[in-house]
Amino acid sequence: MSLPTLDARPTHKALPLLRSELSRITHRRLFRVLALLLLGGIAFVSTIVFFVHSPETGWSDERVLQEQATAQASWEACVASIPSDKEPERRCGQAPAEQPPNRFNYGADDRYHAYQILPIVILGVCIAASAIAFIMGASAGGAEWSSRSMTLQLLFEPRRLRLLIVKWVGLSITTGLLAAGAILLGLAFGAVTASLRGTWDPSYSEFEIVHDELGQTLLYMGLRGLVLVVIACTIGYAIAMLVRNTGASLGVAFVYFVFVENVVRFALLRYGAQPFLLAENSVALLVPGGIPVIERIEVGQDLSGGEVTMQLTNLRAFLTLLGYTALLAVPAGWSFSRRDVG
């Protein structure tokens, strides 16, 4: 009896493994709950915003003129009640008829300003999606160690780095698609609100680049937001692969953002720590053109100090976040390829 010989080494295609990973992630209860919270929260907040805003511009021009006429009559009555030798402006102020009508003095503009609010919508949605991506990354890595399913998966794909890359790609795709859907949902609600209860006037934009090209700016912000989501899920997954526990991964993130980053921000403010913090770089990656941060504080001989600011650009923020991600992802990959999985 002869043993069969293999003419070629069997190859395991990555696509079936990726499909299995995508199915495993999307069928997890945590992923569905977090997705429901994110999309439901966006819909809930957007509905409140819709009813809070009004299609009216505060007060109409006719009502402003009417209020001005009423104020003019009150002013004339005030002038008539004082002696003629007194200066009326000192007692009654300037005549309302001599002042240009300004509707902002009579009521706020309750319209939904698309050019001002839509970028803020993307900013908020991307930050929320990044937080959920981090939780998903930490949970996806930690759950496989606690359930000991990693050993079983290595029986089907013994090449550890390839398995790790496939699992990371599947996690990035699922969290990225969820973030893209959340961004589109937020923009859809915002567009409806701006059309029915707001204005598309570009003069209300906070950034010059938004004033010129709203659609292009929102597209670039959304793409940078997806990059931030992938970075967040990668960091969460890398920490989970290092500590092999979901709770420890979330605890590390909580301690860092609540205590460590705030201590570093204020204790090392003089030495320019802000350009290297995760929170500042995350926001700078999303905001068009970046954000100004304190580079250092200069103290003179008379102990008078002054803040020296710098522009934390989108590119610098991306490179900083990419560097931090590599500092965690490379040791996580090395640890997974070398450590015992039992």
Name the percent of the chain lying above pLDDT 70. 82
Cβ neighbours for 291, distance < 8 A, ≥ 6 positions apart: 280, 283, 284, 311, 312
Q: Domain check: are 233 and 99 in the same one?
A: no
Question: Does 1 map to a domain?
Answer: no
Question: What's the pLDDT at 108?
Answer: 59
> Both 211 and 99 in a single domain?
no
Mean pLDDT of the residues in the chain: 82
Domain of residue 327 covers: 23-58+108-338
Both 67 and 130 in one domain: the answer is no
At 104 the pLDDT is 47
Q: For 51-88, how does the pLDDT look when each residue is reduced to its tens digit (9 = 90+)?
A: 988 777 655 666 667 777 777 788 788 877 777 656 66
Same domain, residue pair 79 and 188? no
| Average pLDDT estimate for 151-172 | 82
Domain match, 97 and 147 both = no
Distance of CA 155 to the CA centre of its chain: 39
Residue 42 has pLDDT above 90, yes or no: yes
At 198, phi and psi to the nearest 5? -160, -155
* Chain segment 107-140, per-residue pLDDT in tens: 556 788 888 899 999 999 999 999 999 999 998 8
| DSSP SS3 for 138 | helix
Whether 15 maps to a domain, the answer reads: no
Does some domain include residue 17? Answer: no
Q: Is residue 9 part of a domain?
A: no
User: What is the arithmetic mean of pLDDT over 183-201?
Assistant: 92
Among the three residues 74, 105, 136, which one is the final residue of a domain in this structure? 105
Domain assignment present for 82: yes
Q: Select from 82, 105, 128 the last residue of a domain.
A: 105
The answer to whether the CB of 235 falls within 8 A of the CB of 134 is: yes
> Do 155 and 197 fall within a single domain?
yes
Query: Which of helix, strand or coil describes residue 21?
Result: helix
Q: What is the DSSP letter of 181?
A: H
Nearest to 65 by CA among 106, 95, 111, 94: 106
Residue 10 inside a domain? The answer is no
Shared-domain flag, residues 93 and 150:
no
| 101/112 same-domain check | no
Reduced to 3 states (helix: H, G, I; strand: E, B; else coil), residue 56 is coil
> Residue 89 domain-assigned?
yes
Q: Which of 105, 132, 164 is the last residue of a domain?
A: 105
My answer on whether 235 and 264 are in the same domain is yes
Cβ neighbours for 57, distance < 8 A, ≥ 6 positions apart: 103, 109, 110, 111
Locate the DSSP E strands across 156-201. 198-199
In a domain, 8, yes or no: no
Cβ neighbours of residue 302 closer than 8 Å, sequence gap 6 or more: none
If asked whether residues 78 and 188 sit together in one domain, one would say no
Contact by Cβ (8 Å): 246, 144: no
Q: Residues 91, 220: one domain?
A: no
Domains of the chain: total: 2
Q: What is the pLDDT of residues 92-105, one digit of tens each?
A: 777 776 665 554 45
Strand runs labelled E in the chain: 112-113, 198-199, 291-299, 305-312
Q: Residue 318 — pLDDT band, cuts 50, 70, 90?
A: very high
**Is residue 90 domain-shared with residue 218, that is, in the same domain?**
no
Do β-strands 291-299 and 112-113 pair in parallel, antiparallel, or remain unpaired? unpaired
